[in-house]
Amino acid sequence: MTEVVLGVCGGIAAYKSCELLRLFTESGHGVRVVPTAAALKFVGAPTWAALSGRPVTTEVWDDAHEVPHVRIGRQADLVVVAPATADLLAKAAHGIADDLLTNTLLTATCPVVFAPAMHTEMWENPATQANVALLRSRGFVVIEPAVGRLTGADTGKGRLPDPQSIFEVARHALAGGRTDLRGRRVVVTAGGTREPLDPVRFLGNRSSGKQGYALARTAVARGARVTLIAANVTLGDPAGADVVRVGTTEELRKATIEAFADADVVVMAAAPADFRPATVADQKIKKTDSGTPTIELVTNPDIAAELGAAKRPGQLLVAFAAETQDALENARGKLVRKRADLIVVNEVGVDRVFGADSNTVTLLGADGSTAALAEIPKDDVADAIWDAIVIRLAPLVSDGGTV
């Protein structure tokens, strides 16, 4: 049985960690909850003990004969701190150990995941950002907080991500997940755009966004800073990704071009509509006895081709080709036209790929490489795509040389 330490800090989001604890225990992991004294002001020790089936304490002095301040960290296969407050991040970054949780962090040799939750001003404070950067530079995973309702009437960045999303990042780390995207900025597009015909109807497609969301989740788990541009997707936001919501192809284009400027990699997993109505009716189009209305279509811009023409040296573009026939032949043509470095090819159709949890794809590289993947879960497809991207990335360089 793998041993997980769940650290819980003092914040209103502490109650959400009960669900995270349940996800770990129901997956067969042994969990030791180590709350701070402040966390027990929000959720009492009996709750943690009942859910975990393990004793709960915040003090290094309790059961001192077992040396818990050293033993717990040494025996852990994974440490997750959720929520992680600004205070805890500062202590972890600077090696301060003044309670059982901070001692556990100082002695842990396993992967450590922090899921911050705090008010926006606290998260954006230069001190917090410096502490986060320092932790990440040491190989710790610090998930970006979500945007949403905070304590009271406040809204902004600083909300604890959904427990299921935190669990997915933690599961990746527990499985020996790599951090080979650490320091990289990646942009992923997902979903399908909708082009309005009138205030009620639109032209769209069947894309669910699941593959794009899987790419965002796995990129976060591998250490990247992720911007996810989501077109009409109803899935929960991946923990740690900055989500930008769009509707039409032009909105997707504008958001992607803006995010593209400082990105190392752009993965165009979204399915933008190829055409849009030349005009949009102000009122709902009615059926009449005079016959069927004619709708004139115009071509939407090719976003991937635009990015391919503008990319700078070292910047990678990954395109997608959803085909219904002659998939590889058509995809090879797109690879050249869009000036992509890699294209992900799949054959799609009704009840095929769209909305499914698995995918069958072929990766075609601009270097002539071909890799066919049998049907596997979309998260595994995402990892295979990132594997192909990582080997094509130029080394990161800082003022002191390659890092």
245 to 74, 148, 254, 265, 319: CA distances (angstroms): 42, 14, 12, 19, 20
Integer Cα distance of 181 and 136 in angstroms: 11
Integer Cα distance of 42 and 259 in angstroms: 38
Architecture of the domain made up of 185-274+300-394: 3-Layer(aba) Sandwich (3.40)
The first and second tokens of residue 184, run together, are 């990289």
Q: What are phi and psi of 287, to 5 degrees?
A: -75, 135
Which residues form the catalytic set? 205
The first and second tokens of residue 57, run together, are 């304490």
Range(s) within the chain of domains with CATH label 3.40.50.1950: 3-174
Give the DSSP letter of residue 15: G
Architecture of the domain made up of 3-174: 3-Layer(aba) Sandwich (3.40)
Quote the pLDDT of residue 104.
93
The answer, as to whether pTM is greater than 0.75, is: yes
Q: What is the mean pLDDT of residues 243-262?
A: 95
Range(s) within the chain of domains with CATH label 3.40.50.10300: 185-274+300-394
Give the DSSP letter of residue 90: H
Quote the pLDDT of residue 153.
74
Residue 350: which pLDDT band, with cuts at 50, 70 and 90? low
pLDDT in tens, 311-331: 999 999 999 988 777 888 889
How much is the mean pLDDT over the chain? 88
Transcribe 142-162 into DSSP letters: EPPPEEEE-STT-EEEEEPPP
β-strands 3-8, 30-35 pairing? parallel
Integer Cα distance of 34 and 55 in angstroms: 9
pLDDT in tens, 367-385: 999 999 988 889 889 999 9
The answer to whether the beta carbons of residues 25 and 52 sit under 8 Å apart is yes
Q: What is the mean pLDDT of residues 386-402?
A: 72
Give the DSSP letter of residue 10: S
pLDDT in tens, 137-187: 888 889 889 888 787 777 888 899 889 889 988 888 887 667 788 889 999
Residue 352: which pLDDT band, with cuts at 50, 70 and 90? low
